[in-house]
Structure 1
Amino acid sequence: MGRCIEVAINLPGIVAVRDSKEQAGPVLTFAPAAWSAFTAAATDGVLARTV
């Protein structure tokens, strides 16, 4: 099963994330600074991967 997310960075003051296969499902929202910190940590390999 594929894991797909959509990230909307074009909304004022928030970053919205959802499962692209469940478009009517829940949406997680983050402050832009928090999302930036998360993606930087993921890119740098700081986050532990779990399955």
Structure 2
Amino acid sequence: MKSRHRLWHGRLWVSLSILIVLVLVLAVILRPKPIPQDLGQLTSQKSN
């Protein structure tokens, strides 16, 4: 019984974290911001 409750609690936290991530992604998509040059340089360095 306790183990089952713990599993459900863990699932609840996982779903909560997924929801938060989804909301953050939506916020970023709905509010497009100009990409900083530093970020662009970082990505170009990684590709190279």
TM-score tier (shorter): 0.3 to 0.5
Q: What is the TM-score when the length of structure 2 is the normalising length?
A: 0.33
Structure having the higher helix fraction is: 2
Q: What is the TM-score when the length of structure 1 is the normalising length?
A: 0.32
Structure having the higher strand fraction is: 1
Which has the larger Rg?
A: 2
